Amino acid sequence: MMGRWNLLILVLFLSSVIVPSESDCPAGFITSDEGCIDENDCAVDEDYPEDVGKCGENTLCFNTNGSFYCQCAKGFRSSTLTVNFTGGSSATCRDINECSDMKDICGPNAICFNTIGNYSCICDDGFVSTTGVESFRYGDNVKCIDILLPNVTDVHLTQCYSAIIIIGFTTVSLLSYSNLENSANGFSGGMKPEKNQSFKINSKVVTVAVSNRNTSHLKEEVKLTLYHLKKSNQTSHTCVFWDSSEKGGSWSARGCEVVESNMEYTVCSCNHLSSFAVLMSLCEMKLQLITWVGLSLSLICLFICILTFSMIRSIQSPRTTIHLHLCISLFTANLIFLAGISRTENRVGCAVVAGMLHFFYMAAFCWMCLEGIQLFRMVVLVFNTSFKTLYMMAGGYGVPAVIVAVSALANAEGYGTDKYCWLKLEFIWSFFGPVCVIISVNIFFFLITVWKLAQKFSSLNPDLDKLQKIKAFTVTAVAQLCVLGTMWIFGCFQFEEGTVVMSYLFTIFGSLQGLMIFVMHCLFSKQVREEYGNILSRCCAPQKKRYSEFSSSHSSKAHVSSYLYFTAVGLG
């Protein structure tokens, strides 16, 4: 009996030693048949699914061996700004407002809507997503783009029975009329043309309309590209609209301006909507013809003068050298003017043309100034009346080169305008300033020359032959200066806001330059006429002439003596 009680006591003792109690398991563990096991702190009671658990609302619970930690769910942020926390801490998870914290999260043309723990993006009125979905979020690679309704290029309306209103849309209509330009010519009273000035439509008539009611004063100007019916780069184009407020209706340029114009098209910018077209000036077409004919005649005369002054040895002198380079400068300037004055398509090329015109026209004035100084030296000085060639080249080409170089360095943008390859209006005095100085110096020397000539004519023993020649030279030089100077007086008003009269006068005086130099310095010179006669006789009736030894020697000596005399006194 005693043995049974001992056995029972032994079993109870062993069970108390091997099987631990819950109080013996560490925190985070519970007792089981297998001993202390980890307690799942993140487990949710199936009978109470609404229970927020140990981490609280809007959280994610992560169980670890003997413990756990919490994180805020996506779309929420910890109040303590910590990523991991425990249920015993004071941290709570609050909603992140993506729409206010990240303003551009949806991208352009989209609206952001915040929800608890999330957000969504939808396209604004008038836009649609590139993938066709209604809502999206950042990272979905979705963009909102303009909705363009189908473009109707040809429509025939029989009856209008309904209307469509689409929020965020504006209807734009562009109507191009097939033959309206033929019947709409002649209505240019609103342009206030000058006398004998007329216009012709050089594009299709286009009507632009939008669904907005008030289009008389647009906040942003509308730009239209109108292609020319007659392609010409030498004609000025004007952007116009049909002004129904004029009596009977008329084309008007009010509120419209030319942004760009070339041979192919004209870009117009207007602050209102109406029917638009491009007008070209017929007067400028006539002026263009006169310019081509007049300058071509001038170029021919200048070319003959260049050949005359460079090839006929019997008239060579310092004065002839001045005339030669004057003709070269005018010939080159007029040729560039004829070929490139309106070539405004290439900005750099146009600036180069303007710079070359600036140089060669300035050189022409400098050579005329040298002629005035040369005449002064011939009258006043007895010896060393002529310039050295190096000094003449420095004055004739060096001074213009310095003026153009300084002008280009000071304001390179001043070369080339939208209409002509010439100097801009605010930069024009880089040409007219030096020209005025040169003309003033020339007038000063001419006045002294005339005064000295008058004194010599009234002297006791005047050399009438020499004085008569110098007098003739002075008259031609003054006339030459007057023609070129007068031309540029009208040219001052030509290139920007010129009138038709000024344009014609500028063209006429420009055409007279070469003709006047040819007549005064070649045809009026007996020596040159004789040389022309000899050349023509050799060309038209070539004969073998026989000369005796005596006559040949005599004429040769006479020619050499005459050449030395004219060289000594500076006459040519």
Among candidates 243, 297, 293, which has minimal Cα distance to 270?
A: 243
Task: Give pLDDT, residue 151.
Answer: 56
Q: Which residues pair with 374 in a beta bridge?
A: none
Does residue 330 lie within any of the structural domains? yes
CA gap 385, 22 in Å, rounded: 134
The residues, any chain, with a CB within 8 Å of residue 184's CB and separated by 6 or more, are 201, 205, 242, 251, 277
Does residue 7 lie within any of the structural domains? no
CA gap 406, 413 in Å, rounded: 13
Does residue 397 lie within any of the structural domains? yes
Same domain as 368, residue 273: no
SS3 content of the chain, % helix, strand, coil (to 5): 45, 15, 35
Cβ 210 vs Cβ 171: under 8 Å: yes
In this prediction, what percent of the chain has a pLDDT beyond 90? 10
- Using pLDDT thresholds of 50, 70 and 90, give the confidence band for residue 3: low
Same domain as 376, residue 472: yes
Same domain as 355, residue 243: no
DSSP 368-396: HHHHHHHHHHHHH-SS--S--HHHHHIII
- The CATH number covering residue 65 comes to 2.10.25.10
Does residue 304 lie within any of the structural domains? no
Same domain as 339, residue 404: yes
CA gap 511, 485 in Å, rounded: 13
Provide mean pLDDT across the span 523-532.
Answer: 85
Torsion angle of the four alpha carbons 498, 499, 504, 505, in this order, in degrees rounded to the nearest 10? -80
Q: Write the pLDDT tens digit of every residue in 339-376.
A: 888 787 788 999 999 999 999 989 998 998 888 888 77
What the block records as the tokens of 203 is: 């594009």
Is 70 exceeded by the pLDDT of residue 465? no
Is 70 exceeded by the pLDDT of residue 503? no
Q: Write the pLDDT tens digit of every residue in 390-406.
A: 888 999 999 999 999 99
Provide mean pLDDT across the span 494-512.
Answer: 61
CA gap 321, 369 in Å, rounded: 13
Residue with tokens 């030459």: 480
Q: Write the pLDDT tens digit of every residue in 128-182.
A: 888 888 889 888 888 898 876 555 555 555 544 445 555 556 677 778 887 777 7
DSSP 262-318: -SSEEEEEESS-SEEEEEEEHHHHHHHHHHHHHHHHHHHHHHHHHHHHHH-GGG-SH
CA gap 161, 335 in Å, rounded: 65
Among candidates 407, 427, 423, which has minimal Cα distance to 350?
A: 423
Same domain as 531, residue 516: yes
Say which amino acid occupies 397: Y
Chain centre distance of CA 315: 50
Task: Give pLDDT, residue 331.
Answer: 94
Does residue 431 lie within any of the structural domains? yes
Same domain as 507, residue 458: yes
The chain-wide mean pLDDT, for the chain, equals 76
- The CATH number covering residue 223 comes to 2.60.220.50
- The CATH number covering residue 372 comes to 1.20.1070.10
Most confident of 185-194, 245-254, 385-394, 528-537: 528-537
- Using pLDDT thresholds of 50, 70 and 90, give the confidence band for residue 510: confident
- Using pLDDT thresholds of 50, 70 and 90, give the confidence band for residue 476: low
99-113, 252-266, 410-424, 548-562: range with lowest mean pLDDT: 548-562
Residue with tokens 């309206």: 180
- Using pLDDT thresholds of 50, 70 and 90, give the confidence band for residue 553: very low
Same domain as 511, residue 466: yes
Provide mean pLDDT across the span 321-336.
Answer: 92
> How many helices and strands (H and E) does the chain possess?
13, 20
Question: Domains in the chain: how many in total?
Answer: 4
Task: Give pLDDT, residue 549.
Answer: 42
What the block records as the tokens of 94 is: 């609050």
Check the CA dihedral 362-366-371-376 and report its sign: positive
In this prediction, what percent of the chain has a pLDDT beyond 70? 68
The residues, any chain, with a CB within 8 Å of residue 272's CB and separated by 6 or more, are 215, 216, 217, 218, 241, 255
Task: Give pLDDT, residue 268.
Answer: 92
Same domain as 470, residue 330: yes
Decide which of 37 and 195 is more confident: 37
Same domain as 393, residue 487: yes
Does residue 54 lie within any of the structural domains? yes
Same domain as 135, residue 183: no
Domain extent at residue 124: 99-146
Task: Give pLDDT, residue 530.
Answer: 87
CA gap 202, 197 in Å, rounded: 16
CA gap 404, 355 in Å, rounded: 7
Same domain as 262, residue 250: yes
Decide which of 509 and 227 is more confident: 227
Same domain as 434, residue 338: yes
